[in-house]
Amino acid sequence: MIYNRCGRSGLKLPAISLGLWHNFGHVDDFETARKILFTAFDAGITHFDLANNYGPPPGSAEENFGKIMKQDLKAWRDEMIISTKAGYLMWDGPYGEWGSRKYLLASLDQSLKRMQLDYVDIFYSHRPDPDTPLEETMSALDQAVRSGKALYAGISNYNPDQTIETSRILRELGTPCLIHQPKYSLLVRWVEKSLLDVLENEGIGCIAFSPLAQGLLTDKYIKGIPKDSRAAKPHGFLRRDEVTAEVISKVKKLNELAKKRGQSLAQMALAWLLKDPRVTSVLIGTRTVEQLQDNLGTMENLDFTTEELEKIEMVIK
Ligand SMILES: NC(=O)c1ccc[n+]([C@@H]2O[C@H](COP(=O)([O-])OP(=O)(O)OC[C@H]3O[C@@H](n4cnc5c(N)ncnc54)[C@H](OP(=O)(O)O)[C@@H]3O)[C@@H](O)[C@H]2O)c1
């Protein structure tokens, strides 16, 4: 594993981080989840990303992670970076989602309880709230850090203008924004327009979520939708109708380019993101230990020739 500095902070993150959005809920196999976490940590993945609502049911990924932390990983807490978030719907009534101080701080307390932790390393505002002043949302992140319940503050799904404003407010509060978590992959490239430049200017790290486009950027959908895949599951966020002929045609071409590099498509997709020094880490999900091992193989070839990059660009532009 290599560890990249997160923006202009003192914190380094592994080039590959593991997210627990899918595959770690009560609907999933606990022993597999445990094995995935051990394999990841043994391979140098020190960063584990959660959110209040991960499951299903919501909260169950944090509960399962908490169990594994307590049973198995507690002794290594100081070697781990654990993040959680609040922003999406978590409980009934007017205080169970978005960006109020009331919701964010209550949610963080609930997350700590579920994970049986004293603190998280990073606490995120999971999405911007159009109806709450940014100052209020950011002051809640600042308080989370000042109270010792989080060590750093982060944002996710904020656009470039919101990011600049957030960064200013947090800097003034004395809790600089550590990291931004946007969706970014060979198939979803909005961050390249201006977000990455903003992050570099502001000294904020970037951790790219769904770097495999939820599994589309692997060879698994080339011959249809496999039974056990995310697109086939009722609770999977990848819908069947997102596996289109147009996407699969691109995936097939990318798969051929990956083969020529001696890599799997998943490995090429992750390496392609990591070639940009503004990307601190790629935040993968995995359902099996084998998928994780495939993704870890990315580290064996991170370099691209100009010709390879041009060929990839022709496919995805
Ligand atoms: N901030 C946000 O709003 C936000 C939103 C989404 C995600 N996230 C974060 O990003 C993390 C990752 O998101 P993601 O799960 O969508 O990431 P992803 O890496 O794009 O997709 C992961 C899925 O792809 C498939 N896969 C992974 N490696 C594979 C391989 N080598 N070969 C074949 N298939 C493979 C598996 O799906 P199958 O089940 O089909 O095998 C796996 O569950 C989440 O856990 C979460 O922490 C954040």
- Over the chain (317 residues), the average pLDDT of each successive run of 10 is 98 98 98 98 98 98 98 97 98 98 98 98 98 98 98 98 98 98 98 97 98 98 96 94 96 98 98 98 98 98 98 97
* Phi, psi of 180, rounded to the nearest 5 degrees: -120, 140
CA-226 nearest atom, ligand 1: 40
Q: What is the pLDDT of residue 292?
A: 98
Contact between residue 63 and residue 71 where contact means Cβ atoms under 8 Å apart: no
C-alpha span between 184 and 177 (Å, rounded): 19
Q: What is the pLDDT of residue 291?
A: 98
Residues with Cβ within 8 Å of 134's Cβ and at least 6 positions away in sequence, in order, are 128, 162, 165, 166, 169
C-alpha span between 152 and 74 (Å, rounded): 20
In this structure, what DSSP letter does residue 213 have? G
Residue 288's SS3 state is: coil
Give me the numbers of helices (H) and strands (E) for the chain, helices first please: 10, 10
Distances in Å between the alpha carbon of 34 and those of 13, 30, 73, 99, 272? 21, 6, 10, 32, 29
Half-sphere exposure of 92 (CA within 13 A, CB side): 0
Structural element, H or E, at residue 251: helix 245-260
Query: Structure tokens of 177?
Result: 């924004």
C-alpha span between 274 and 298 (Å, rounded): 10
CA-87 nearest atom, ligand 1: 3
Minimum CA distance residue for ligand 1 atom 15: 285
Contact between residue 9 and residue 178 where contact means Cβ atoms under 8 Å apart: yes
Q: How far is the CA of 133 from the centre of ligand 1 (A)?
A: 32
Closest CA to 65 of 79, 88, 84, 45: 84
Q: What is the pLDDT of residue 9?
A: 98
C-alpha span between 62 and 64 (Å, rounded): 6
Q: How far is the CA of 186 from the centre of ligand 1 (A)?
A: 14
| The CA-based dihedral angle spanning residues 209, 114, 129, 177, taken in that order and rounded to the nearest 10 degrees | -60
Identify which of 214, 279, 300 to mutate to test ligand 1's pocket (most ligand atoms within 8 A of the CB): 214
Q: How far is the CA of 276 from the centre of ligand 1 (A)?
A: 20
Closest CA to 134 of 160, 170, 171, 107: 170
Q: Where are the alpha helices (DSSP H) in 116-152?
A: 134-146
Q: What is the pLDDT of residue 220?
A: 96
C-alpha span between 64 and 245 (Å, rounded): 37
Residues with CB under 6 A from ligand 1: 19-23, 49, 126, 156-157, 181, 209-215, 218, 220, 229-230, 266, 283-287, 291, 294-295
Residues with Cβ within 8 Å of 171's Cβ and at least 6 positions away in sequence, in order, are 177
Number of other CB atoms surrounding residue 291 within 10 Å: 20
Q: What predicted TM-score, i.e. pTM, was given to this entire model?
A: 0.98
